[in-house]
Structure formats: C-alpha cells, structure tokens
Chain A
Amino acid sequence: MNMQAPVIARRSPGPQGERIITLAALAVGGQGGGVLTNWIIDVAEANGYHAQATSVAGVAQRTGATVYYVEMCRDTGRTPVFALSPSEGDVDIMIASELMEAGRAVMRGFVTPGRTTLIASTHRIAAVSEKIAPGDGRADGAKVLEAMGIAADHVVAFDMETLATKAGSVISASLFGALAGSGALPFPRDSYEDIIRKSGKGVEASLRAFGLAFDVAKGDAEAPKVEAVKPPARTLTVPDALRADWAALEARLAALPESARDMAGLGLKKVADYQDLAYGRQYLDMVERAAARDPALAEPAAKYAANALCYDDILRVADLKTRAARLSRVRAEARVKEGQVLHVTEYFHPRFEEFTTTLPARLGAWLQRSKRAEAFYARHLDKGRRIRTDSIGGFGLLWIVGALRPWRRSLLRHRSEMAHVNAWFDAALAQPDPALAAEVLANRRLIKGYSDTHARGLSKFDRVMSALPMLQGRPDAADWMRRLRTAALADEKGTALDGALKTVASFA
C-alpha cells in the first residue's frame, strides 16, 4: 500500500449543493502546464464558477516535475475557502502530461478509487536516470498503466503528445480537449473552445488538437494506436552480376530451423551489405554450425554473429555516412524544405588506435609498437575532425575511406576482431548446456561503441565471461549468466556487475 491508512475524509458540499471541484496537473517543466492552468481557470470563470489556481514555480520548472493546482466552485454569492495544494485522497481530476508523471500522481495518493478522474498522456519523456544506463534503463510503463486502472475512478489515457503533434499544436491543447471530453467538469464544449479562441496564439492548431483529444476522451473516436516501432524502411538492391550468388545464399536460409529464419535473413543482408557476399557465406557457416549443435541456438547465433561480424570501424562509418539513403534521412529529420540548402557536419576523432588498426595488419602492428609514432600522432594528428559531407571535399574524403572496403580483411582491426569473434563463438558452442550457450552468445551485446566505450565493453564482456568456469554444470547457470549481463548493462563503471560477480563467487 502507498500510504499509512489515512483518515477517510471527504469534502462536504455547500448549502445549495454547490461543491468544490479539485483539479491537479502534474507536468514536466516546459510542457505548458501554466497555459493549461490558465485555460482551466478561464473556462471555469466563464461558466460562472469561482476559481483559484496555484503552482509551484522556481527551480522545479527547469525540466523537473511541476505541480499545478486548481479549485473551483459554482458561484452562489459567497467566496469559498479554497485550499492551495492538492491533498492525498482529495483530488477529483488529475491531469498528468506524461506516463511516469501519472504514475507519480498515483504514488503520491492523488488518484483515489471512487473519486478521481485521471486524464493522462501515455507518451514517455525519459528521465535522465533512464537515459544514462549503458543498456536499456527505461522504466516499465505497463506497471504504471495497471496501477492507474486500479487507483482511478475513471481513466482517460492515450498518447496526447502524438495527437497534438499531428494537429501541429502542443500537448496543453490536447490535455485541455481530453479534460473537456472526459465530462469531469460540468461545462459545455463551446465554452472551452471560446477560451482557446480568446488566447489568440496558434488558435487553429490548438482547436484541432483540442477536438481530436475531445473525441477520443468522449469515446467518439479511437485512441491513436500504439504501434510497435518499425525499423527504418530498407531496400535490398542486388546488382545483376551478384544475383546468382545471392540466390544461393538465400537458399541456405530455408534449411535453417524455422525459429531462426527471419533473424538470419536480416543478419545475412546486414553482413553482405557491410562487406560482401563472401562475408555472407562466412556468416551462414556460423549460423549453420550453431543450428547443428542445437536448433535452439540458431536464432541467438543469427542475431549476435551478425552484430559481431559487422564491427564498427572507420570504413563502416565512412560508408554509412556517404550513402544516398542516409542523406535523405538527414534531410527529412532536419526538415529541409524546397529552396533551402543543407550543411552537414560530421564529428570524427580518430585516435592512434583507430589509425593503426585501419592499416594493413603487419604495418599497423609495427606502428602500434612504436612509441615515437604514437607520440608524433598525439602531437600532430590526435584531434577532432569536423567533416562537411555536403561539400565535395569532405564527402570525397569519406568516400575514399569507404572505398577501402574490399581490403578490409587485410587490416589489423579485422585480424583482432576475427580472433575475438572466433574465441567467443567457440566458447559458446562448447557449452554442453544449450541454455548457457545461448546466454554466452547473447553476451556479445556487451561489446559496443567506439574507442574508450568499446574498450570498456570488451572489459565488461571479459568480466562476465570470467564467471563461465564457475557456472558450468550448475542447473541455473544460464540464468546467472543472464543476470551478470543485465548487471553489466546497468551502469557505466560496472559497480552492479562487481556485486553480481561477488555473489557468483560466493556460491561457486
């Protein structure tokens, strides 16, 4: 339970049956909570109500959670005594402009069964703590939705942010529409719309957002569907000369266990796009080997082998940044209109390591051992490079780096990557316990990023893998391996991982 059982106390109405309506709004700073509050006050006063609003301003407005509070009462000649802040168990209408803020309203006791109409936008604005995890640190929205359903008397919840954006407006307008449509306040629709009209700024767009949300809240229109995120649309293009070879590769997919076919199909395209068809063959060899070991391993192998083979080197970055599809994505995201010109600057900072590993293996290895070369690089070359890919010079430079692709296999980086990939893959398939083998395959997820980030990922991978001998033979080995990986993704320094490793050591 959320709070220590409080005294159940309800507001009593006035002599003519007039009652105070309490309304609280929880917003994230910068979402226009102040505008919404002013509109609510105006609509109440226009309908012959006394109304009072308060807010908690100050530093809380800088991107933090902010509370606005409104009380209103039908005007019968006397001025009621209004409270200045929302009270647990005593809020009639709760407006939350983001899903976790709705959850916070529930947790703070502002959403009460049998009393509160909860109007919440279900979109997410990730908090800093959710963003900085090296893995996926985002909170579980399903739990919040479930609690909202239990706590509220009436829930009006849908993605009001998307709705507002669709109407060319901002969320305060769709929240206002949802409030009106919920019927929680005894005011007619036009009185709300009149207020928006009087506000004088972006009226048409606000009215559109208001109307869309009104209809959904009232039940006259479907809430916008929450669609699973689709990967960016990609097109497979195979030159005529490669058609036959490609068909042969695709044919091998059909022989894989059904559970792995889709993943392997994506993986194959990714790998072939990254390097060439021969690389695709190498990839399929790996997946087939895993499938032969145990059919259940084919899918994780298909997924993680593709990622392992497509390691992030300068060639790949240069290649990706000079593609036509990429340029159109940037133009779309930057909303470049007809007649406008787009400048694009890329930020590179190749260190001595990146430089040497992009050289032929023997030359690179020799240079890596040279302290003088390293010092020379540090003094003269180790700095950030800003490359304008809208200019021929900058684009050309990256295009030439991308042109090294056919020689990738001879570069130092490829040699070390393949050694690592093979060791990892062999270790996974060597596990007698298929569940543990699948987890070892999934450990590849730990290796990501560039430069220091990449090194940190490798070290985390090594530390997680170091538990392998301790776990082998245990019935819960796979589960522990998964837990170690989750811990490794929880924070940057690996504090959680150290703790988890200690636990493993304690029982192993």
Chain B
Amino acid sequence: MAERSFKKEVEQLRMGAGGTFRGEGILAVTKALLENGVGYVGGYQGSPISHLMDVFSDAQDLLGEYGVHFENSASEATAAAMLAASVNYPIRGAVAFKSTVGTNVASDALANLASGGVTGGALVILGEDYGEGSSIMQERSHAFAMKSQMWLLDPRPNLTSIVAAVGHGFRLSEASNTPVMMQMRVKSCHVHGHFTAADNQRPQMTVSEALENPKRDLGRIVLPPAVFVHEAEKVEKRWPNAVRYVLENNVNEFFGNDASKIGLIVQGGTYNGVIRALNRLGLADIYGDTDIHILCLNAVYPLCDGQILDFCDGKDAVLVVEEGQPNFIEQAIGHRLYQAGRKTVLMGKGPLPMAGEYTGQKLVDGIAAFLRDHAPNMLLPAKSKANEPEQTEIPNLAEVLPGRPPGFCTGCPERPIFAATKLVQQELGEHHIASDIGCHLFSIMPPFDIGSTTMGYGLGPASASALQNRDKDGKRSISFVGDGGFWHNGLTSSIGNASFNKHDGVIVIVDNHYAAATGGQDVLSSRAKNKSRKTNNPISDAVRGMGVKWVRQIDRTYDVTKMRDTLKEALTSKEEGPKVIVASSECMLNRQRREKPLLAKATKDGKRTVKPRFGVDEDICTGDHACMRLSGCPSLSVKDTGDPLRDDPVAHIDQTCVGCGNCGEVADAAVLCPSFWQAEVVSNPTPAETRRASRAARIMGWLQARRDAKRLTFA
C-alpha cells in the first residue's frame, strides 16, 4: 500500500480525445503512454518518479483492460532488462526510475539493449533528481545516453510538451532501432497543469501474443561477432535515422526572431526558466515572445549538426544553457563550429555557473552577463549595470536559523534502532558504521550522528566488506540496510557476499514492511496482503538461505533494551561469519494511515478500543533533554515552564504523539529520568473495568487525602 493513493486521479486516464486532462506531470506521462499504445510498463520507485509507479500501480485494472502488462520491477536493472521484450517484438515498452542512481543500476541492461537495438519503441522515463530537493549525488543522465548511444529527450516543462515527448520517444526509438530516454526534472514531475487528451490505443501486439509467437534473431544478441556489427550500425544507420526523425518531426523548437544576432541554445527542461529570466530583463513577454532567437532542444542527444550550424549562421554570439556538468552539449557544439570554421562566439559555462541547478537568479545573472559582453545595447541601462547596490540591508539570519534536515517521522520504528546503537556505542566505544539508502539514512543527522558512508542502495553491508578485523576479539563493523535495499540488491551483494567471505561484521536489516522512503510501496517481505503481488516472504528466511547462521529477528524495534542487548551480543559473539539482525516494525506513517480509520470506526461502533500516548511530568523533568538526544521525535519537544525558579525548558509531548513507546523504552534502557508516563485511554471499557477503575480511584483518593491532611502542599 503506497503512501499516496491515485485511485481517484487514474479515472482520468480513461479520458478520450478532446478532453482536458488536469494533474501532475507524472500522471500526464501515464496517460501519454496509454495514448501511444504501450504494451508493457515497469520501473522502480524513487523520488521524483515514485508517484509514477504509484499511478501505474493504482491503474492496474485499467492497464489490464488494454492488455498492458505492468510490474513493480525488483530494481532498475530488472526494469531495464524488461525492455528486452521490444528487441524482437514490435511492442512498445516503457520503464521509469530515478536517475542517475537508477540508471547506474540499470546500465548493464541498458548497454546490452542499446547494442542489439530494438524493434518496438523502448522508452526509459528518468526522474532526473538534480538540484534543490535532490537526495543523491549530483550527476547527469546525459553521460549514459552518450556512452551507450541511447537518445535523450528533455522536453519543455509543461504537460503538453511532456505528453508530446512520450509519443516522439516511441516513434524515434522505432525509427532508429534505439532505446530512448526521457528525462523529467524534479519539478516537472510534480508540476500541476493540463493538456488536451487523445484516445487511448491498444498495443499493436500484446506480450501474450508475443509469447504465442516467439521470435529470435541471432544478429540482435550481444555476443561477438554481432557486437562489432552493432557498433557500426549505431553510427552508420541508427544515428542518421534518429537525426532525420528529430528534424522531420520538429522535435526541437525555435522561438523568437531568427534575424537576431544573438542566440540561445537551451535544454528543453530549462526553457521556462530562461523565458522568465528574459522577461525579468525586459527581453521577453510573459508568453515567451522575444526578439532573441532561441533553439530549444527537446532532444538533447543526438544533436543535429545541420540544425545547429544553421541556427548559428549569421549570429555574433550564442549562449548554451546547459544545466549540470560536464557541459557535453556546449563541447559538442563548439567542436562542430570549429570544424565548420565558424566565427560565432560560443558561450555557456562561464557566464553561467559550471555546477549547480540553474535557478531563476542564476539564469538572470548569467544571461545578463552574456548580453553585457555580446549585445550590450539589448539590456535596459538599469539592467546592464552589475553590482547595483541593494537598497535595504537585510539582517543576516544565517547564525540564528536552525537547520531543518529531514528526519524520522513521529513514532518511526527506526528511531529506537538508532537509539539502541547510540547506547551500545556509549558502552562499547565508537564503531565503524556503514549506512545505506532509505529512511534509516536519517541516522547520520542529529541527534544520532550515526554512519560514515553510503555507497548505494542495498550496498550498506557491502560497503563494510573491506573492514574485516584480523583480531577476532577486536571491534567489528556495523552496517545497515533497509528492507527496500535488501530486496533491491542487498540480498546478493551484501548478505551473500558477507556470508561467502565469512565477514564478521554486524548487519542490521531495518525492516519497516515497505520501501518506505520512496512512498511506502510493497516489497517481497511486506506483511500486507496485496492481491496482485506475492508478499509475506520473511527476510530472515532469505538470509538463512544465503548461509548465514547467526540471525536474530526482532519483531518490536521499540524494545530498546532488547535491541541494545542484541546488538551487543552480535558485536561480541564468538560465532564466525556475519551477524544479521532483522529489526522489524511497521512504518508508522503507513500504520497510522491503515489503523486510524479502523480504530475510529470501532470506537464509534461501541467496541472496546485503546489509544496510547505519552506525556511528561514537568515537575519531574529537569530540562536536561537527554531523552531528546535519543529521539528527535517531532512530537517530543521543549516548552517553557513559566516557573521563575527554573531556567531551562522542559520536555513536552504534544497531541501528535502516537504512543509508539520509544520515550518510555529509551528512558528505561538509557536509565534516564522517570518523568515519562504512558497513558492508555480505553474507550467503551467493559463494565468490570469501569468498576475496577472507580474502586481504585476511591482508594487512591482516600490515601491522598490522608497524606495531605498532615502536610503543607503546593501543587
């Protein structure tokens, strides 16, 4: 069960020609796939493309009606390999994943696919996780396109252009027998807009029909001598065919005045930002009408030499707006201009920054700098001056503002795992800790400050593999991997590797029952019943299957004492080989979403229900905040007492507490203060329960009155 449901939105996917489709970018892509007769769809979730997978998932019935096969691929490599169905059969296939990390994982299959080439259109939709909001290393997918020779589309960020690009992607792929990648930047994935729909198309051939009529062609298999033929075919046939398609179908667009002495060559994805910058410089109106000539590359690879040379013809200077580095496009254009002996000045990185997202201000500054040097008469006098003084001095708040990095949610079951790890380190000293990708990576932030490296999804334990202590009684590495990473790659690359190499390290598998960081998608070990997927496959069985002997399953991570003791045991056990702890409790976000309505309904129906929450006795809390250094829970915060006798704010738990138990368990395991209380509010109690409670209250009241009669109280 994914975090966000698109059940309502997917109804729009049935819309016929002429209707106005409203929604997010990713929803538009789904509709475009149907309009283009896609035959099968796969992919792996990850920001910013997670919702695409969720939309596919929620649209399974609809996809089924059209004979479209959909699966949640085990990894990006699986997704890319899935496109093999388009090698021999005229079936259009699409897969989606986060890039560049997903493309890294997929690149083995993609390279093989690109070598043999495709018959049916093969489209890879990339969520280009670059710039603000990104959670990964800052790289470009462009390099993958170049190295394997796959074409790369980068459409203008509006739904109409994105939908058009999907169609171009399939047709370009078929015209050039080459897989095509389409990149969508973070914000275009989530852009809300509309476009005019077309009718959905059934696939030309379904996967079932392909299975009934299997085909093979030795020439498409990636093995010598065919591979040498493939390489030649790429440059002699597929490349020219692709260029022809791009030119004949006007995939790239021209804007502005072609008589201009100044030109901009921009990636489609940066177009809106460029127009805004020109507008702010007084050089374009809000609809994009401008006197500057613009070549908008919706296909950024391959570049069409003739088109670019024609564009530069008669221009004094051209600026390439290319986000990210290296500046592949600028280099290629410069090379062409040089070879053709052109005198047009080419600028790019220089006026524009080499690295980093091209935000609004960077584009304004970069384009202004370019124009100042090459067309100073175009800029209004006020705007041609650099370094205009700011009129008002705004106080610098950098020292005042606390950072607000993402962290574990309220009641997260991973929090106690890291609280326990912190306690173990306090006792046994600091250890080398290898982290992985997933929510659990928030451990690297305060208050836990745990983890030294992260090397890729499912590779946490693998990244500790060199750190094998020769001293059997010495310190061991601790590594983390989530259930998402475990099934993605970790089972073989991390667990299998550690088992095979008799690695002594401790491996903690953080099992929250979902791929939680990407939006709560089901994985093999999810405990939920999923009608279209095989779930409930225990991680510990898989680990034992890999030959690991020391395996501990903890089914309530909130038991900090047990968690801590198990970790200690793992770090000190004499047993050879990896020590694997499967720490398992359901993601609280998903659990609340599932249980809250059920609980409310049961209460309303008069059934006995129990709602837990925690609180703090503020008289007992001394304001040291040791509890928060083992928590960081959003519902546990500080508050003033208003008591003149006290200096420091005390701990306070607000109404968002879900009563997970971490506060009490941590207070117990770390021997903190006794100020926490756990309340369980019982609705619709049994009559006996009510009687017992009121009898207890009477006796307590009597005891209290008896004591208070003899002493002064101020309470």
For chain A, the bracket of interface size reads 35 or more
Choose among B129, B185, B677 the residue that contacts A345 (Cβ–Cβ < 8 A): B677
**Chain A residues near B272 (CB-CB < 8 A):** 81-84
**Chain B residues near A326 (CB-CB < 8 A):** 617, 619, 715
Q: How far is the CB of A447 from chain B (nearest CB, A)?
A: 9
Asked if A231 and B286 make an inter-chain contact with CB atoms under 8 angstroms apart, the answer reads no
The 21 listed contacts between A and B (C-beta, < 8 Å) are A5-B388, A6-B361, A9-B368, A11-B280, A41-B192, A54-B192, A56-B190, A62-B439, A80-B287, A85-B360, A88-B360, A128-B628, A129-B402, A132-B629, A136-B649, A144-B397, A232-B642, A238-B712, A273-B714, A448-B624, A448-B648
Asked if A234 and B404 make an inter-chain contact with CB atoms under 8 angstroms apart, the answer reads no
Name the interface residues of A195-222: CB closer than 8 Å to any CB of B: none
Asked if A143 and B397 make an inter-chain contact with CB atoms under 8 angstroms apart, the answer reads yes
A1 to B365: give the CA distance in the assembly, Å.
Answer: 18
Name the interface residues of A116-145: CB closer than 8 Å to any CB of B: 125-136, 138-140, 143-144
**Chain B residues near A349 (CB-CB < 8 A):** 667-668, 671, 674
Asked if A58 and B48 make an inter-chain contact with CB atoms under 8 angstroms apart, the answer reads yes
- Contact of B18 with A by CB under 8 A: no
A449 to B675: give the CA distance in the assembly, Å.
Answer: 10
**Chain B residues near A320 (CB-CB < 8 A):** 617, 619-620
Asked if A138 and B638 make an inter-chain contact with CB atoms under 8 angstroms apart, the answer reads yes
Other CB < 8 Å A-B pairs besides A73-B286, A236-B712, A341-B685, 13 of them? A8-B382, A10-B280, A41-B192, A55-B187, A79-B287, A84-B185, A85-B359, A132-B629, A239-B711, A269-B712, A276-B712, A306-B645, A349-B668
**Chain B residues near A67 (CB-CB < 8 A):** 132-133
**Chain A residues near B625 (CB-CB < 8 A):** 131-134
Asked if B397 and A7 make an inter-chain contact with CB atoms under 8 angstroms apart, the answer reads no
User: Given known contacts A131-B628, A347-B676, A450-B622, is B445 in contact with A144 (CB within 8 Å)?
Assistant: no
Asked if A330 and B679 make an inter-chain contact with CB atoms under 8 angstroms apart, the answer reads yes
- Contact of B391 with A by CB under 8 A: yes
Stretch at the interface among B339-347, B477-485, B695-703: B695-703
Asked if B678 and A345 make an inter-chain contact with CB atoms under 8 angstroms apart, the answer reads yes
- Inter-chain contact total with CB atoms closer than 8 Å: 446
Asked if A135 and B642 make an inter-chain contact with CB atoms under 8 angstroms apart, the answer reads no
- Contact of A374 with B by CB under 8 A: no
- Contact of B306 with A by CB under 8 A: no
* Cβ-closest 4 pairs across A and B: A87-B360, A58-B47, A56-B133, A64-B406
A436 to B226: give the CA distance in the assembly, Å.
Answer: 88
A83 to B407: give the CA distance in the assembly, Å.
Answer: 29
**Chain A residues near B644 (CB-CB < 8 A):** 231, 262-263, 266, 303
A440 to B382: give the CA distance in the assembly, Å.
Answer: 61
Among A7, A63, A336, chain B packs the most CB atoms within 10 A around the CB of A7
Q: How far is the CB of B283 from chain A (nearest CB, A)?
A: 9
Q: Mark B382-417, 1 if CB is under 8 A from A, else 0.
A: 110011111111111110111111111100000000
**Chain A residues near B275 (CB-CB < 8 A):** 81
Q: How far is the CB of B461 from chain A (nearest CB, A)?
A: 22
Q: Is the interface of B mostly helix, strand, loop or mixed?
A: loop
- Contact of B353 with A by CB under 8 A: no
- Contact of A285 with B by CB under 8 A: no
**Chain B residues near A334 (CB-CB < 8 A):** 613, 615, 679, 681
- Contact of A61 with B by CB under 8 A: yes
**Chain A residues near B405 (CB-CB < 8 A):** 64, 128
A246 to B713: give the CA distance in the assembly, Å.
Answer: 12
The chain A residue with its CB closest to the CB of B386 is A7
Asked if A1 and B642 make an inter-chain contact with CB atoms under 8 angstroms apart, the answer reads no
Asked if B678 and A344 make an inter-chain contact with CB atoms under 8 angstroms apart, the answer reads yes
**Chain A residues near B708 (CB-CB < 8 A):** 237, 239, 324
Q: How far is the CB of B536 from chain A (nearest CB, A)?
A: 26
A450 to B704: give the CA distance in the assembly, Å.
Answer: 26
- Contact of B690 with A by CB under 8 A: yes
Asked if A7 and B368 make an inter-chain contact with CB atoms under 8 angstroms apart, the answer reads yes
- Contact of A180 with B by CB under 8 A: no
Asked if B648 and A347 make an inter-chain contact with CB atoms under 8 angstroms apart, the answer reads no
- Contact of A392 with B by CB under 8 A: yes
Q: Mark A344-386, 1 if CB is under 8 A from B, else 0.
A: 1111110100000000000000000000000000000000101
**Chain A residues near B643 (CB-CB < 8 A):** 231, 266
**Chain A residues near B617 (CB-CB < 8 A):** 320-321, 326
- Contact of A23 with B by CB under 8 A: no
Asked if B714 and A235 make an inter-chain contact with CB atoms under 8 angstroms apart, the answer reads yes
Q: How far is the CB of B323 from chain A (nearest CB, A)?
A: 12
- Contact of B288 with A by CB under 8 A: yes
The chain A residue with its CB closest to the CB of B618 is A232
Asked if B407 and A62 make an inter-chain contact with CB atoms under 8 angstroms apart, the answer reads yes
Asked if A59 and B47 make an inter-chain contact with CB atoms under 8 angstroms apart, the answer reads yes
- Contact of B260 with A by CB under 8 A: no
Asked if B408 and A399 make an inter-chain contact with CB atoms under 8 angstroms apart, the answer reads no
A111 to B392: give the CA distance in the assembly, Å.
Answer: 12
Stretch at the interface among A14-22, A418-426, A476-484: A14-22
A63 to B406: give the CA distance in the assembly, Å.
Answer: 5
A136 to B439: give the CA distance in the assembly, Å.
Answer: 29
Asked if B187 and A128 make an inter-chain contact with CB atoms under 8 angstroms apart, the answer reads no
- Contact of A190 with B by CB under 8 A: no
Q: Mark B170-192, 1 if CB is under 8 A from A, else 0.
A: 00000000000000011110111
- Contact of B553 with A by CB under 8 A: no
Q: Mark B11-32, 1 if CB is under 8 A from A, else 0.
A: 0000000000000000000000
Asked if B193 and A52 make an inter-chain contact with CB atoms under 8 angstroms apart, the answer reads yes
The chain B residue with its CB closest to the CB of A280 is B712
